[in-house]
Chain A
Amino acid sequence: MGVNKTEEMVLNIGPQHPSTHGVLRLKVQTDGEIVTSVTPVIGYLHRCFEKHCENITYQQVIPFVDRCDYIASMNNDFGYVLAVEKLLGIEVPEKVEYIRVIMAEMNRIASHLLALGTFGLDVGAFTPFLYMFRDRERILDLFELTCGARLLYNYMWVGGLSHDIPVGFVEKTYEFLDYFEPQIDEYNNILTFNKIFIERTADVGILPVDVAINFGVTGPNLRGSGLRWDLRKDETYSIYDRFDFNVPVGQGIKGSVGDSWDRYWVRVEEMRECVKIIRQALDMMPRDGDVKAAVPKRIRPPQGAIYSRSETPRGELGFYILSDGKPKPFRLKMRSPAFTALSVLSEISQGWMISDVLAILGSLDIVLGEIDR
């Protein structure tokens, strides 16, 4: 009998597929169940964000930023307003800083809950997903209480906030944190330490730290590979230097460092750190102050360029703004963390099975709105 070399099959995963986290298309070369190469095809959600920004004022950009990473709008707003404030040289009031940190960290929890839940869904666990959504709902309720929106907030303005926090927000947030912390153990019981889940994710899709750095992967994906790099700690912005929190990194507890389980675990641990930060911020926050005190009437930054970066739930979000002294940015470039995370997919998913590719994709936690912009 001669050697039977079977033909490789091209499988199109997406753009309409239950687990591509948006409208992503993956061109997958398969040899039976084994994947020989993966090519992500993006652009199905392209909305000309960057070009659009050249025709609108700095304030008007904020709702567009919301729609980039729609899972973590607060963090995106935060990154953008930090950039514009750096360009303008505005100092914002204490209270605004605290509220921004609280909102950003709450949104980080909400975003991680979604990431973990959909990751569970990708490996076939349906129930944890709904547990996480149940708790995410509480955060969205708090956001709704504050600014009326549940997904796209437009809450952080250049120099301030659109609304002050409402009466009772602080108590409700404490209540939520007390409720939420034990829930993390529940997620661990049902999903994280489930034997099948560990079998599916540990040692799967290992992202070595040097590959991660070469591809520019940041955020929980980079920390999952074992590098302690968090802009909140290492290039501290806003008032993050006042809080006491740890930066969890992947240690290869169930497999090797940098596997899908580690990336998942970093997010679980990060939620605990977020709770810590929110508690401290709520304790330290000045109770009165005008959140719109430093909001400029009109924004006309001086000529020049600025690059500002911040840590979103997906990693390093950078804004490069080129100003020609007009009320509209001459050029705005966004460095999106999910884009680099997706670019590493084809590197780490070769030789795995189709099911693993989707698990790896889930563990990278991408948001297509941010990739395509």
Chain B
Amino acid sequence: MTITWLIEWVNDSWLGFLGLPGAFILAVIIAGLAIFGLVAVHAIVAVYVERKVAAFMQDRIGPMGQGPGLHAGKWGLLQTVADALKLLVKEDIIPAAADRKLFVLAPFILFLGAFIAFVALPFSESLVLADFNVGLFYILAVSSFGVIGLILAGWASNNKWSLYGAMRSAAQIISYEIPAAISLIAVILLVGSLNMQAITSAQSGTVWGILPNWFVFQNPFTFMAFFIYFIAGIAETNRTPFDIPEAESELVAGFHTEYSGMRWAFFFLSEYANMFIVCGVAVVVFLGGWQSPIPGLMTGRIWGLFWFMGKVVFLVLIMMWIRWTFPRLRVDQLMNVSWKVLLPLAFFNLFGAGIWSLWLD
């Protein structure tokens, strides 16, 4: 179910009078709305789950509104929906000293970076919007686009805390993209392709007879690469223990200190969208994508979607677990972890994976 299929489908339907350009525009709008729906629903569900997970980890019960109606619902199930509605109707405040144009622009740029990365994620065997040959490279490229939004937000707010947050996040995200990308190259070496579906397909079957043939199990170097990528991924999404750009106890709220209402919600939305992207890439590259953990069991289009989402949710839950367990690193320690630990490891890993692939051939 790619975008080309969607264009043909629109063109063949009664909307055929629109012609190919019209069908293209319509197909893009349909796909965009679908992705936005996914992002929004994921954010709403993930925020709820995060609050509940945090609450259970901390011996609390979390949101527990009861009764019918919009009042939070039973088990607080509608809590995040209510929060989202509240954010929608909140007053939109732009500080007097802010650079208005950039201030308004920043959340959208940040969101765009996360949003367009969804295009290349293979949700299932046949469900990927754009199955193109540089899929992984594209995701890495566009997801680093968001940092421009962060810097703009920090600068345009004209607030010292925001500025600190923006500068920290710029340094952090750029530093962590390097080990993340290099750890992914180890897998790309073995597959010989940047196509997301090709990477997924390369992980079918079993390894050592029992484990699924996922890259995380295939050889020691890809195993290590998974952890390097995942740690770097947590840092890229600005989550504890790498949440220094928005470190609450230091920088109040970092780059989004001055934002409120829906603009702030877009920061939140893109944080959760970014989590999805990072976990989605980890799933595709290391955990077999939409493939079933037991080869041959429950395969097919719908099950593929189920396995993909299941694995992503699993990784997102691990991210939450980490977030509510660890303290935060200091900014220089964060850089040390990236440049002195993860980067050498990733290079060593790449080297090892190269030797391994030569030796196997």
B250 within 8 A of A: yes
Contact residue range for chain B? Answer: 20 to 34
Chain A residues contacting B249 (CB-CB under 8 Å) are 18-19, 121-124, 358
Distance between Cα atoms of A12 and B324 in the complex (Å): 29
B252 within 8 A of A: yes
B241 within 8 A of A: yes
The B308-339 residues at the A interface (CB cut-off 8 A) are 324-333
Chain B residues contacting A320 (CB-CB under 8 Å) are none
B59 within 8 A of A: yes
The B24-64 residues at the A interface (CB cut-off 8 A) are 54, 57-60
Distance between Cα atoms of A199 and B250 in the complex (Å): 17
Chain A residues contacting B330 (CB-CB under 8 Å) are 199-200, 353, 355-356
Shortest C-beta distance, B71 to chain A (Å), equals 25
Q: Say whether, besides A11-B160, A194-B327, A200-B327, A124 and B58 are in contact (CB < 8 Å).
A: no
Distance between Cα atoms of A12 and B161 in the complex (Å): 10
Chain A residues contacting B248 (CB-CB under 8 Å) are 18, 124
Distance between Cα atoms of A28 and B12 in the complex (Å): 67
Question: B327 contacts which of A18, A19, A123 (Cβ < 8 Å)?
Answer: A123
Question: B58 contacts which of A9, A12, A17, A130 (Cβ < 8 Å)?
Answer: A130
Q: Say whether, besides A33-B331, A199-B329, A354-B164, A127 and B250 are in contact (CB < 8 Å).
A: no
Chain A residues contacting B58 (CB-CB under 8 Å) are 126-127, 130-131
Q: Say whether, besides A131-B58, A131-B59, A355 and B324 are in contact (CB < 8 Å).
A: no
In the complex, the chain B residue whose C-beta lies closest to that of A34 is B332
Residue among B164, B252, B330 with the most chain A CB within 10 A? Answer: B330
A190 within 8 A of B: yes
Shortest C-beta distance, B227 to chain A (Å), equals 16
Distance between Cα atoms of A19 and B247 in the complex (Å): 11
1/0 per residue A33-61: CB within 8 Å of B? 10000000000000000000000000000
B160 touches A354 (CB 8 A): no
B240 within 8 A of A: yes
Distance between Cα atoms of A197 and B328 in the complex (Å): 8
B244 within 8 A of A: yes
Chain A residues contacting B244 (CB-CB under 8 Å) are 355
A79 within 8 A of B: no
Question: A126 contacts which of B250, B324, B329 (Cβ < 8 Å)?
Answer: B324
Q: Say whether, besides A134-B59, A200-B329, A127 and B324 are in contact (CB < 8 Å).
A: yes
Chain B residues contacting A121 (CB-CB under 8 Å) are 249
Residue among B240, B243, B325, B327 with the most chain A CB within 10 A? Answer: B327
Distance between Cα atoms of A131 and B332 in the complex (Å): 29
In the complex, the chain B residue whose C-beta lies closest to that of A121 is B249
Distance between Cα atoms of A197 and B59 in the complex (Å): 21
1/0 per residue B74-108: CB within 8 Å of A? 00000000000000000000000000000000000
A127 touches B329 (CB 8 A): no
Shortest C-beta distance, B41 to chain A (Å), equals 26
Chain B residues contacting A224 (CB-CB under 8 Å) are none
In the complex, the chain A residue whose C-beta lies closest to that of B332 is A353
A355 touches B326 (CB 8 A): no
A355 touches B331 (CB 8 A): yes
Distance between Cα atoms of A225 and B152 in the complex (Å): 44
Shortest C-beta distance, A87 to chain B (Å), equals 43
Distance between Cα atoms of A127 and B241 in the complex (Å): 13
Question: A355 contacts which of B57, B241, B250, B325 (Cβ < 8 Å)?
Answer: B250
Distance between Cα atoms of A9 and B331 in the complex (Å): 18
Q: Say whether, besides A33-B331, A199-B333, A127 and B325 are in contact (CB < 8 Å).
A: yes
A196 within 8 A of B: yes
Distance between Cα atoms of A234 and B160 in the complex (Å): 47
B328 touches A124 (CB 8 A): yes
1/0 per residue A2-40: CB within 8 Å of B? 000000010110000111000000000000010000000
Distance between Cα atoms of A355 and B248 in the complex (Å): 11
Residue among B60, B243, B247, B332 with the most chain A CB within 10 A? Answer: B247
25 A-B pairs with CB atoms under 8 Å apart are A9-B160, A11-B160, A12-B160, A18-B248, A19-B250, A33-B332, A121-B249, A124-B247, A124-B326, A126-B54, A126-B324, A127-B54, A127-B324, A130-B59, A134-B59, A190-B325, A194-B327, A196-B241, A196-B329, A200-B327, A200-B328, A200-B330, A353-B331, A355-B247, A358-B249
Q: In the complex, given contacts A127-B54, A354-B164, what are 5 additional A-B residue pairs having Cβ atoms less than 8 angstroms apart?
A: A9-B160, A124-B327, A134-B59, A199-B333, A200-B327
Q: Which residues of A contact B (CB under 8 A)?
A: 9, 11-12, 17-19, 33, 120-127, 130-131, 134, 190-191, 194, 196-197, 199-200, 353-356, 358
